[in-house]
Amino acid sequence: MSTLHIPPLAPEVIFHVGRFPVTNTMVNVWLAMGIFLGMGIILRRSLSLRPGKLQNFFEYILESVLGYFDQVTGNRRQTIRFLPISGSIFFFILLSNWLGLLPGVGSITFNHELLLRSANTDLNLTVAMALTSVIVSHLFGFFTVGVFTHLNKFIQLGTIAKSFRQGPIAIFSAVIEFGVGIIEIAGEFAKVLSLSLRLFGNIFAGEVLLTVMASLFSFLLPTPFMLLELLVGLIQAAVFAILSLVYMTVMSSAPHGAEEH
């Protein structure tokens, strides 16, 4: 029976570059980025009008992703516009999750700390991706519908100014709309929390589960749980990417009634 070692919430620092700490989750991030870079270079060199097996495989995956994204955006033009962000998020999270299941992850040590750990068990990474998703959705909104139109989705400053000339009822309505706008702004922060904590919680819980199962019996028993984690990794990557796509699609849409004006 192997020794039970529950991973801590925070990633472990394995060495420093100057004063910059390098954690075991960062090593997995660099590994994922290196794999993407290598795959991109290989695919770029093998592109042809008569595609081979490798190009056909990646074209099939891309067409499948585009088909799912079309169901969210409603048209292929919007899908292609958002694909560099949402697609990158999906494949990065998926690869990071699956790299966390490779042999040696969670067992190989360096300077008495684990050398490799699933990248998405680092809350810093999931928060950074969630912030990027939400901020980019607002940038798309600014460039698509305009800065003032986009801001009016939250607080309608023009309506508030006009209400003082239209009587008490208009002022009361403007105050209600202002309160709703504040709630909408708070909802944007809630998006960051929900995206980051959902991904972090599910992947960290899976890592703890696999650690416990491996400590009970290291042969065969963890296998069904590892297969389950493969599915969970795919689902969590899809959920994060689809929600990011929804945010970008919604923020790029004109507010209700703006088309008539």
Within a domain: 224 = yes
Q: pLDDT-based confidence at 106, cuts 50/70/90?
A: low
Q: How many domains does the chain have?
A: 1
Q: pLDDT-based confidence at 5, cuts 50/70/90?
A: low
Mean pLDDT across the stretch 114-133?
90
Rounded Cα distance between 172 and 20, Å, is 53
Rounded Cα distance between 206 and 21, Å, is 26
C-alpha distance from residue 39 to each of 32, 48, 119, 229 (Å): 11, 16, 20, 24
Within a domain: 258 = no
Q: Is 180 helix (H, G, I), strand (E, B) or coil?
A: helix
Q: Answer whether 51's CB lies under 8 Å from 42's CB.
A: no
Within a domain: 105 = yes
Range of the domain at 61: 13-251
Query: For residue 250, which amino acid is it?
Result: V
Q: Answer whether 205's CB lies under 8 Å from 194's CB.
A: no
Mean pLDDT across the stretch 193-201?
94
| In the predicted structure, residue 32 carries a pLDDT above the cut 80 | yes
Rounded Cα distance between 217 and 131, Å, is 40
- pLDDT tens, residue by residue, 216-257: 766 666 677 788 888 999 999 999 999 999 999 999 987 655
Within a domain: 1 = no
Helices then strands, each counted (H, E), the chain: 8, 4
Within a domain: 259 = no
